[in-house]
Structure 1
Amino acid sequence: MGWYLLKLAILLPLIAGMIWGSLKLAKKLQTQVGAGGEGRQRTIKVVETMMLSPGQRLAVIEYNGRDILVASSKSGFTWLAECAAQSRVQAKAKAKAEQQSLADLVENEFTQ
């Protein structure tokens, strides 16, 4: 019984350390391979995704300065729309300005 506990006390942390190390190594290799190496720009970028239902999702993909709206499901991808990519900062500023103007309009309606 003592021999079993001694082996367990030694091998259990060793196995846990090997698992932790392999996960760290896999994460490091995934980021290196996924980025295509040092200094390389990615041409495709997933900007935003939205889950519609289990197995169905909408995604905005930026490619060559264009935003492409696609729907993905278990059967594949479907192209829905395409437009010129606008700066994310500009889009957020525009949405905030529209929201503020709408709030001002509602406030003015209720004060009159």
Structure 2
Amino acid sequence: MGEYLLRLALLLPLLGALVYGSLRLTRFLQGRLVGGASEGRVLRLVETSLVAPGLRLAVVRFHDREILIGAGRGGLVRLGEAPARPPARADARADVRAEVGLARGAQGDAP
């Protein structure tokens, strides 16, 4: 009985560490493969949306084109295509607010 408890005390934390490590490795590799830096890549996933269980819409950027794809249990279907939008800047709103503030300040100074 004592030998069993000793093995359990040693192997259970080891098993937990292996599970934790595999989950961390999976998360790291998924982020690297899907959401990582896409410089130099031809195909890039822009956005996905779950429409219904088993039905998903995806926007894929390919050679300066954005393609809308429907993905379901039956496979993939191309739904539409458009020219690629320029990537949105993170500080675009700050720039717009600054311009609006400057415009308001210029109007306030006029008699």
TM-score bracket, normalised by the shorter chain, equals 0.5 to 0.7
Structure 2 counterpart of 1:17, one-letter code: A
Per the TM alignment, residue 67 of structure 1 is displaced from its structure 2 partner at its CA by 0.5
2:79 and 2:63 mapped to 1: Cα distance?
17
- Cα distance in 2 for partners of 1:48, 1:26 equals 21
1:61 alignment counterpart: 60
Provide the residue aligned with 1:103 in structure 2: none
Other-structure match for 2:87: 88
2:48 equivalent in structure 1: 49
The answer for the alignment partner of 1:12 in structure 2 is 12
- The number of residues matched between the two structures is 89
Tell me the distance in 2 between the aligned counterparts of 1:40 and 1:88.
13
In the aligned structure 1, how far is the partner of 2:12 from the partner of 2:5?
A: 10
Q: Under a length normalisation based on structure 1, what TM-score does the superposition of the two structures give?
A: 0.62
Give the secondary structure class of the aligned counterpart of 2:14. helix
**Given the two structures, how large is their TM-score scaled by the length of structure 2?**
0.63
Q: CA RMSD in A?
A: 3.0
Deviations 1:4-33 (CA, angstroms, capped at 9, x unpaired):
11111111112222333344445555666x
Partner of 1:60, secondary structure, is: strand
Secondary structure of the residue aligned to 1:88 is coil
Runs of 5+ consecutive residues of structure 2 not aligned to the other structure: 97-111
Identity percentage of aligned residues: 40
